[in-house]
Structure 1
Amino acid sequence: MTVLKSLLLFAVAALFEIGGAWLVWQGVREHRGWIWMGLGVIALGAYGFVATLQPDANFGRILAAYGGVFVAGSLVWGMVMDGFRPDRWDVAGALVCLAGVAIIMYSPR
């Protein structure tokens, strides 16, 4: 159950961080305005809160592992929201990052 909870928290954190960054990007780069940027800042703050809910209490471990989730999640977000099509190297890199997440977070200690 702890691993499932951790995986769900990583997914929610990714939604908030990647979504927040995307909203800021849209507000600035696509000239959608302050409301988009403001919503992005709120989502980024929510990401910071969600990260604290991980069962492991080690900040460095959580943030390091989340980096791999961010890499893979960003590619998925780009596919869904912007029509980005990753190439085989993008996919391979994301899989390597997710393997790193699994080793960092879920190896026996």
Structure 2
Amino acid sequence: MAAIGWYILAAAGEIAGCFAFWAWARLGKSVWWLLPGLASLAAFAFALTRVEADFAGRAYAAYGGIYITASILWLWAVEGHAPDRWDLTGAAVALLGAAIILWGPRGA
């Protein structure tokens, strides 16, 4: 699978896992929400290790842009709050940064 696919899976796992903790701690949901949350966070960590990159730090840095964009989509799709122009601009800038980090030419 291409890096972008693994990044998308990682973002879904991280956001869903963190939201499960948010739901428990901030929305008064049952403690049982933590079990799928933990599983989602484990899936996130696994997916991020599948990205083809020479260094973990570079893979994680590039992931940041994907995570920001996925979080804005979560805001809209799950929480029902439409992103504003600043949310969308920030996500676009973050994706550009991720692309530069991941696919920028490297010297020898």
Answer whether TM exceeds 0.5 for this pair.
yes
TM-score (norm 2): 0.92
Which residues of structure 1 form unaligned runs of 5+? none
Q: Tell me which residue corresponds to 2:30.
A: 33
* Secondary structure class of the residue paired with 1:82: coil
Q: Deviations over 1:13-60 (max 9, x none)?
A: 011001111111112211111111221122112111111111113111
Percent of pairs identical after alignment? 36
The answer as to whether partners of 1:14 and 1:47 remain within 8 angstroms in 2 is yes
1:97 aligns with 2:94: yes
Q: Tell me which residue corresponds to 1:74.
A: 71
Would you say how many aligned residue pairs link Structure 1 and Structure 2?
A: 106
Q: C-alpha distance in 1, partners of 2:4/2:40?
A: 19
Which residues of structure 2 form unaligned runs of 5+? none
Q: Which runs of 4+ in 1 moved over 3 A?
A: none
In the TM superposition, residue 108 of structure 1 has moved relative to its aligned partner by 2.4
Q: Tell me which residue corresponds to 1:49.
A: 46
Q: C-alpha distance in 1, partners of 2:105/2:20?
A: 38
